Structure 1
């Protein structure tokens, strides 16, 4: 199990996510606690990097950092266009 941490900017961005997307976002956070490597590389040129993105809901995207040795996931940004 990984510990999930939210960056202050991500916390502010979550407030702007529509109500209908909050459940998919919560489901994503649950997934990140158990399988954080399920996302896509943030930088396709570095597919083994520890910064990843994961889609949620219809249009959402979370960007996060996996610190494997610490068993932590740091959610850096939550975007909803």
Structure 2
């Protein structure tokens, strides 16, 4: 199981997203604890890199880094346009 850590900027982004995005985001965070590699590569030219993105809800996108050695997922951005 992985620990999900939020970047301070990501905490601000989460505070600004609408209420309807919170449940899908919470579900994504739970998924990342058990399946962090389930996202898509951030850079398609480097598909084995540890920076990934994962959609959530109808319009959300999370960007994160998987740190296997530490069993950590570091969430660096949450977008809800």
Question: What TM bracket, shorter-length normalisation?
Answer: over 0.9
Distance in 2, matches of 1:24 and 1:17, equals 11
SS of equivalent to 2:16: coil
The count of corresponding residues between Structure 1 and Structure 2 is 81
5+ residue gaps, structure 2:
none
Partner SS state of residue 31, structure 1: helix
Structure 1 residue matching 2:69: 3-state secondary structure:
coil
Residue of structure 2 in register with 1:33 after alignment = 33
What is the alpha-carbon distance in structure 2 between the residues aligned to residue 3 and residue 27 of structure 1? 14
Query: Normalised by the size of structure 2, how large is the TM-score?
Result: 0.98
Match of 1:67 in 2: 67
Unaligned runs of 5+ in 1: none
- Name the counterpart of 2:3: 3
State the TM-score, normalized to the length of structure 1.
0.98
* Distance in 2, Cα, partners of 1:42 & 1:60: 15
